[in-house]
Amino acid sequence: MLIIGFLALCRSFLAERATTSVAITVPSVVVLLLLWLRPTDGDDSDDSEATPIKLPEWGILTIKPFFRTRFDFLSSSFELCGKSIFQFNLLRNTVIAVSGEVGRKDFFTSKGLDINEGFAFLSGAIPMLPGVTSDLQARRISMIHKRLSTAQNSDHLSRLLPRILADSTGIMRTWGNSGTLDLFDSVPKLFFQTTVRALAATEIADDAALVARLKELYDRLDETTTPTCVLLPWFPSPSMLGKLLASKRIYDIVNHAIELRIQSGRHGDDTLQILLDSGDDRMVVLGFIMGLLVAGARSTGTTASWLLAFLESHPEWKYKAIAEVEQLVSDHSSLPLSNSHETQLSAVPIEAWEGNMPVFDAMIRETLRVAQPHTAMRRNIGPDTYINGARIPSGAYVVYPFSDVHLNSALYPDPWRWDPARSESKMPFSYVGWGGGKTVCLGQRLAKLELKTVISLYLLEFKSDLVDGSGRRPDSLPRPNWNDALTCKPPSGSYMVEYSRRKTDFSL
């Protein structure tokens, strides 16, 4: 009703003289917003032990900390409540936070908790196009998942690998033979390029300026994702208008590439062609590309940045990583050493990248544990269910912070320490770096391949050392900021690398 009322007010604003409309409309919108912001009392009639304890604060006060300092908010709230599960309100929406071994297991195995509805509402950091990237039907979501599986089959990845390495070489050449690099700026840009190559169209990936423009637009989506536009998506706030504009421009770029391919009649060897050959409708193709490029704009690039930062601050693991790459090339490439690193790495088969790199596998796993500040988000689409004995009503949102397990000192002693040699816990769901239960990352095969190939190329191409903003070896090691839910990066310019290009000498 509030939405209908707001739209009616907008129509009256357009129909009447401006001065009169402002006098009537603005106060009316304020009243409507206050009604919407008024917290609900919830189901106070149910005081049973099965009802999660309520956070003892007025609902509106939880909005900013949940979106801006989520790690601190959830950690302190669990401590305040003294329970492994509690509930709070985001405006008129009930959100239930869970933790602990039993809660974790119930969360990841519950059939009624839907990731798509939970992420769409509580995250908001995706392009906003109903029917394309949001408000998707289950059939369309299933189709996108199926196409992602096809885009990661071994034949396609084998053809893709040399192109990923070529893109990476080209970008690394722009860095010059020596200099200072901000890992948390330059590396995400590099990985966005490789993700565009892997998941979009050649027409986009071959145009460096267009890729840079796309990256800028996805970053703008992050900047314009505010509590207001997430919780009040119908209200035309400046952040919402900026988000819509960025979404529209992303749509225009992707749609234009699709039109070029169709009109030209050219048959490309890329993911776009897989989608077109499968006969998918335009909305599926657009949704696939626009939605999945988020991974390149954020997750994979963030993981790569932190992995390199950890390697620079742990020389013993850097030695091991370089030795593993050298051995990989020696075992699987018959090309002479005079060939470029790009050419040598391109000759390594997919099965070797995936099966013969235990050091990289351990480093990626540990990086995801320490530097992935995710909070899993779900919505109970019904019926009522239970987590650790507490009732989760239909329609409620449920969140589980990865910190509950990944920074748990009982499972990972000295949890902030990056140590790929850690032994793996046998406890169920003791590691959720790629998700858990029925919701695991469907793009992890491609993500792992990108991380291994591009970082291997970097290690062979450059000698590098970690420095602080003043160019000196830092006194402390970089530590992920878990309140930065998207990149968890340290303050800008606080950790850099000084590098120089290698020839054939792999000494540190």
Choose among 469, 489, 466, 491: nearest CA to 314. Answer: 466
Choose among 439, 434, 445: nearest CA to 365. Answer: 434
Choose among 174, 176, 166: nearest CA to 500. Answer: 176
Answer whether 183's CB lies under 8 Å from 496's CB. Answer: yes
Task: Consult the annotation and say whether 10 binds a ligand.
Answer: no
Two structure tokens written together for 403: 């910190």
69 exposure class (CB count in 10 Å sphere: 0-12, 13-18, 19+): middle
At residue 462, the 3 state secondary structure works out as strand
Q: Is the peptide bond before 420 cis (omega within 30 degrees of 0)?
A: no
Phi then psi for residue 148, to 5 deg, are -65, -40
Q: Which residues partner with 85 through β-bridges?
A: 98
What's 95's DSSP letter?
Answer: E
Choose among 433, 365, 449, 362: nearest CA to 154. Answer: 449
What's 61's DSSP letter?
Answer: G
Helices 183-199, 282-297: inter-axial angle, 10-degree rounding:
160
Q: How far is CA 295 from CA 103, 192, 301, 397, in A?
A: 27, 8, 8, 23
**d(C-alpha 187, C-alpha 455), whole Å:** 10
Answer whether 388's CB lies under 8 Å from 97's CB. Answer: no
Q: Which residue has the tokens 């075992």?
A: 331
Binding-site residues, in ranges, read: 441
Binding-site residues for heme, in ranges, read: 441
